[in-house]
Structure 1
Amino acid sequence: MDTVLYVACAVTGWLTFGYILRLQRLRPSPARRAVTVTFGAFAVGITLAIPPLAAAVDGLTGMPNLAKVFSHGCVMAIVVGSESWLLFLALPPEQAARRTLRWILATAGAYLAMLGLFGYTLLGESPVQLTVEYARNPAVTAYLLFFLVVGFFASFIDIARLCWQYARACGRTWLRRGLRTTAVGAVFALLYALDKVIYLLAYWSGSRPAGERQIAAVLVTLSALLMSIGLTMPAWGPRLPRWSDLRSYRRLAPLWHDLVTELPYVELDPTLRRSRTAIRDIDYALIRRLAEIRDARLALRPFMDARVTAVAEHHADLAGLTGEARQAAVEAAQLAYAVRMHRAGNVADNPQLADTLHLPGDGYGGEVAWLVEVAGAYAKSEVVVRTLASVMMSAIPDPGRNRR
């Protein structure tokens, strides 16, 4: 199981590294550079931790534990990269650079000590593994303690604390979500280190509990996935279509479809008829749909009749509608009538006055909400059906009617 989990983490790591590297090349920044280093180190380190590959590296070099030592060095680089990312987000560049340098020196010193202990284990007569199963060996215990204390406890406690603290003060939605997700990932990294310490103590006490590798693999996987999502979320999160915009876009479809079918020249970007194109840039697609509905409504003004408004208001009152629901049903009835009169080529005998139209408040958001209400009434309201039934018979063209 641990091999499968490490392979999954490695694939995720390399894909994320490629994505972040591309962003760094397009829009370089110190914070993004730190994330690039973090994921580059993670991708290499987790790849070297895949058991069959680690065994192959050790076998080819004739040095037991070499792949593990390199992998642990990558963990130290991950620590520096993650801390640097947070520092460049929160501090002026010069101050962040100074504190990053201190982290580099501290982790480098710890890693040099680990390399020395690794070299010492090679001098022994019988080979040992840098795992908790060999914790009774003082060199192995010292190596693991350096790795866990500096590489996990000192760093990931700080990462979890700072991420959660910065998230509270952060005004950018996706950065705030990313910080909190990263904080949770850091907690799972701490649980991984705690698991190692518990097993170290157990082996020192003479007990030999099983399952450490499997537990560690699960905790590493959860930590890696959460931190991968959290660290990259500020980049890809804002590009996701907002659910509210997507829902509004779809709810406008029945009204928009009938209007652009009757008045095709108001549609300026036919590529948005493809769902994938619209979803990729939902802000633009929604703005275009609103504009096209408004343009079509303006073009249909000569075909809107004040008599239709009176009839629609009567049916809305019978249906018990009030407020904006009543106004939306009346507007929808006018549009439905105007589309039919435009198709027949008959202008209104008693045109609807412009100053009687409903003007939504609250800017863009208010206009979206209003037209969604109108579109819903257009598609489903019995007021529209009954109004059309009441007025259409008297709207049958005759030779004496004025035409466009």
Structure 2
Amino acid sequence: MEMMTPIRADDPAKLTGLMANKLKTAVKTHLKQAFAPDQKKVMRLIPIAEAAELLGVSMPYLRKCHADGTLPEPTNSSKQQRRYTAAELWQFRQLLAEKSRTPAKHLPWRREGEALQVWQFMNFKGGCSKTTATVHAAHYLALHGFRVLLIDMDPQGSLTGMCGIDPHAEFGGLTIYNAITNMSDSKTPMREVIKDTFLPGLSIAPADLMLSEFKMESRTDPLFATRLHTAIGQVQDDFDVVLIDSPPELDILTLTGMAASTSLLVPMTPSMMDLASTALFLELASTYMGNLAERGINLEYDHMRFLVTRDEPNDSPSQQLVGFLRAIFTDRVMSATSYKSTAVADATILKQSIYELSRGDVNRDTYDRARSSMDAVGAEIRQMIDASWGRI
């Protein structure tokens, strides 16, 4: 076994720097195991049963489409099985929509008169699976045909990392900060900040620590909260849904997201500590919303919901708290919950969602429970989006 070299330095600053460098190197080495040889994330191949479900057709119909030439054969095809890339499914959606009497079944993009949906995931308590919930909702919607934009408003850049992106290494440091700053030497059009991800239909405006500078700049700008709304407006025709991951605190960055959003989602775990924290969060949020209204910023939300995360259906104390929460807030609590799962935890370690894992990568029962939970959350969010558009 290789002997590990102790980390030592006389000066605390030097010691901290050495520890930071060592950890960054270790993380990069670890992530290479999850990414392709060029260190780019790639989506797994999708088996035919799952592909048919995502496309909204039956397996026999999908096979028929290949047989009659309506759809080309997937690249990864054999006599035994067909396996699809995410890019192929994105292409097939458009081909099916062109020949369908109900094209929206395959291509659910927003239509004329339907407003861009902007959802902020927010809470000021860490560990509530806020970023995990955001990325899973994004993957669900993109896999089901929506054009989704992720906006990382957390200077820690956790969501950016989940998309396999290192802004400094790959894009010269362009982040959401450049789109919302008022500094003339840094201001950049939103379209130049947005980057495609490994999943067709999903893009991201990444973040890094530079975003913290926005807090300092905004102290002298009474209209700071409108900047993200303005930036989103520059690209609104390119997307159906925008999902914002805010920092784990109720600060200027979170308020900026609140002012840009059409709906709010508050992830929280079923614990008394989280319930008490969320009560304080709501009290402060109410005050800040009033302050924004006094500045002439009109806040109107189609939906304000709680999402129970890290749910344990077989844990009685946990379920009592979930029931307590539903009794207080009734339909303000989403019906679907995000389960506490080793499959999701293991995937997150490698900066992946459950949708990036193959069923055989982990225990199948564990995978099925986690996937079913995330699918249910995604489906309920989609239902609320459809309700905002008047489709249901």
Q: Per the shorter chain, which TM-score range?
A: under 0.3
TM-score computed with the length of structure 2 as normaliser:
0.22
TM-score computed with the length of structure 1 as normaliser:
0.22
Structure with larger Rg: 1
Higher helix share: 1
RCO greater where, 1 or 2, for CA within 8 Å and sep 6 or more? 2
